[in-house]
Structure 1
Amino acid sequence: MKFWQHLLSKLRDYQNVYLLTVIENIGSSPGRKGFKMLVAEDGFIFGSIGGGVMEFSLVEEAKKLLRNRDLKIFLKKQIHQGHKENGSGMICSGEQTVVFHPLNNTHISVIEDILDCLQNNTNGILTLTPTLLNFSNEQLTNKFEYKINASQDWFFKEYIGHKSTLYIVGGGHVSVAVSELFVTLGFYVIVFDNRKDLNTLELNTSAHQKLIVDFNEIGNYISEGSESYVAIMTNRYTDDKLVLSKLIRNNFAYIGVLGSKAKLKTMWEVLQKEGVTTSELNIVRAPIGLTIKSQTPEEIAVSIAAEVIKIKNMNQ
């Protein structure tokens, strides 16, 4: 979201801006479809199209075009293998194609629509062609659709929206750090707690939604499906167990519980006595997150994010 906010700010300041977007990548190219950078007239840059000498060269080209008012839409192919024609200067192999798209204040409404989409948890399609940049409420089956026939015969479509949702049950310090990190990863984040006037919940300015609920009813607030991720981290063992018992038979891409191995061992024993099967318990990530000896809330957030990203990308 920060990318579009920065872009909107520059356009409202009546600056010309080049939007650089990777629309195709082959092999081990460092830039992947959908990677973006903005290069503004005042020299401000934000985002990435793969880094390294290749990125530096393309940014400098965009700056020169802006200085000379030579504003046009065009494709630039980069081959990451030595000094070949269209070579990027990198040796990591692979290829990527970047579209240079000049924007000005006439594009403000398009960028505003994209931001409204992200802020309101709706979705839409960003379309780039040799003649336009557009955002619409079309539906797209895949994250990207594109075709390149020639330099003036191509299109690129990208799904814009929060495809995945992270549900955090518990509004404490770790929840704040997890919310902040997952928002930057493009997740729609919803935090639940059963305590009113909770200081850490009030301090959580990253989550898209914050709800006070009865944990007995938690299942009514969390949607099942392959884009739903659940992290349980309440302040009490009994609440962790209650929430897990209400959700464990539902279908999620990911469900994990924060806690020590000793606490979780006891919880598992109690749940099994209550009829929860071993196979049902085996789907729960507990302790939550990859094992990286994390200690602070921020480190725990990183471990959870790493585990979720691994699962999400394996299922794509």
Structure 2
Amino acid sequence: MNIELLKIINKEIQEGKSGVLCTIIRAVGSTPRNIGASMWVRTDGSTIGTVGGGPSEKEVIDKANEMIKKGEIEPKIYDAVLREKESDGKSICGGEISILLEPLGNEPKIVIFGAGHVGKALARVASVTGFKTIVWDDREDLANQQNISWTEIIVCSLDEALKKINFDKNTYVVVLTHQHSLDEDVVRLLEGKSFAYLGVIGSLRKTLKMKENLLKRGVSKSYVDNIYQPIGIPIGAETPEEIAISILAEIITVYRKANISVLRNTYSVKEKS
């Protein structure tokens, strides 16, 4: 495998970008590239490297782009029979290849707005279960690696944070800042961005008031209706750690496409099936 290509891929992933790594894992007969040859397909359709060119490579690129569009995170294997043209224009079999398509950089991630006790606990349990976690807060005394060492930390203004964070179909957003008005601002500014889940902490009374305020501020009803409020599976949680587990349980339910309606009580503002 091309080391320079891997360096490029690693750099782009560190920058929050994603794509599909396509690698030849089997080659039989006459093939233009050997086992280990790789190509990186970006989300914008551009590529680096090659797995042989021609119609077969185009099919690989098309399949990679389809995986990107669907937000798939599981690897796939693509088998192809290569064909060469003789002088009379007829096609003959030139070999067979199997290509591993690996989505990289789009693993499910939880973006947590708020580095308080619950945010810290959620980042911890989410990291243990395999989610990439990002925590934002504008308070440097809380948003630092000494306080939360197991996650990516973003400490800046809210506007700057929204520019830095890459939101996509595999992003799960949790809003639990230190101010109810700030929670409302975060939710309002997130409208139009891509994510799989948006949950906001707060009592039923506060969440209903937030919904009312957001609608008055011009936020669309369809967007507001898709917010998980109050956040988390109702397990009677009291401590930050228990609340974090209830939130993560709800996120996992959405991620695994389970029936969430059987897990939530009728008091929920948002109930999905």
Q: TM-score under structure 1 normalisation?
A: 0.51
Superposition deviation, residue 271 in structure 1: 1.9
Higher mean C-alpha deviation, range 252-261 or range 162-171: 162-171
Give RMSD over aligned pairs. 3.9
CA contact (8 A) 1:182 1:305 kept: yes
Structure 1, residues 193-229: CA drift from partner, whole Å, max 9, x if none? Answer: 011222776321111x211121244432333331222
- CA distance 1:127–1:136, shift in 2 (3 Å): closer
Q: Is the strand fraction higher in 1 or 2? A: 1
Q: Which residue of 2 aligns with 1:281?
A: 224
Amino acid at match of 2:127: V
Instruction: Give the letter for the 1:145 counterpart.
Output: K
Q: Which residue of 2 aligns with 1:222?
A: 165
- The alpha-carbon distance between structure 1 residues 222 and 298, as it changes in their structure 2 partners (threshold 3 A), is same
Name the CA distance, whole Å, in 1 between partners of 2:180 and 2:203: 11
1:192-203 to 2 correspondence within 5 Å? 192-198=136-142, 202-203=146-147
Query: How many equivalent pairs are there?
Result: 203
Q: Measure how far apart 1:263 and its partner are.
A: 1.7
**Mapped contact 1:125–1:135 kept (Cα < 8 A):** no
Q: Is the 1:170–1:192 Cα contact (8 Å) retained in structure 2?
A: yes
Q: Answer yes or no: is the 8 Å Cα contact 2:23–2:39 preserved in 1.
A: no
- In structure 1, what is the equivalent of residue 211 of structure 2? 268
Of the two structures, which has the highest relative contact order with CA contacts closer than 8 Å and spacing of 6 or more? 2
User: Identity of counterpart residues, as a percentage?
Assistant: 28
Alpha-carbon distance in structure 2 between the residues aligned to 1:184 and 1:125: 26
Contact 2:111–2:134 (Cα < 8 Å) also in 1 = yes
Aligned to 1:76: none
Superposition deviation, residue 261 in structure 1: 1.3
Aligned residue runs from structure 1 range 38-57, under 5 A? none
Change over 3 Å in CA distance of 1:238–1:305 after alignment to 2? same
Distance in 2 between residues matched to 1:126 and 1:247, nearest whole Å: 33
Distance in 1, matches of 2:129 and 2:103, equals 13
Contact in 1 for aligned 2:200/2:227 (Cα 8 Å): yes
What SS class does the counterpart of residue 213 from structure 1 fall into? Answer: coil
Which of 147, 150, 157 is equivalent to 1:206?
150
Q: CA deviation at 1:129?
A: 6.2
Q: Which runs of 5+ in 1 are unaligned?
A: 1-108
What secondary structure, in the 3-state scheme, does the structure 2 residue paired with 1:229 have? strand
Q: Secondary structure at the match of 2:256?
A: helix
For the pair 1:313 / 2:256, whether they are aligned, the reply is yes
**Aligned position for 2:76:** 145
| Greater mean deviation of Cα atoms: 166-175 or 198-207 | 198-207
Distance (whole Å) between structure 2 residues aligned to residue 171 and residue 135 of structure 1: 43
Per the normalisation by structure 2, the TM-score is 0.58
2:143/2:153 contact within 8 Å kept: no
Deviation at 1:309, TM superposition (A): 2.1
- State the secondary structure of the residue aligned to 1:168: strand
1:1-316 pair list within 5 angstroms: 120=14, 138-139=40-41, 142=67, 143-146=74-77, 157=100, 159=102, 161-163=104-106, 164-198=108-142, 202-207=146-151, 209-314=152-257
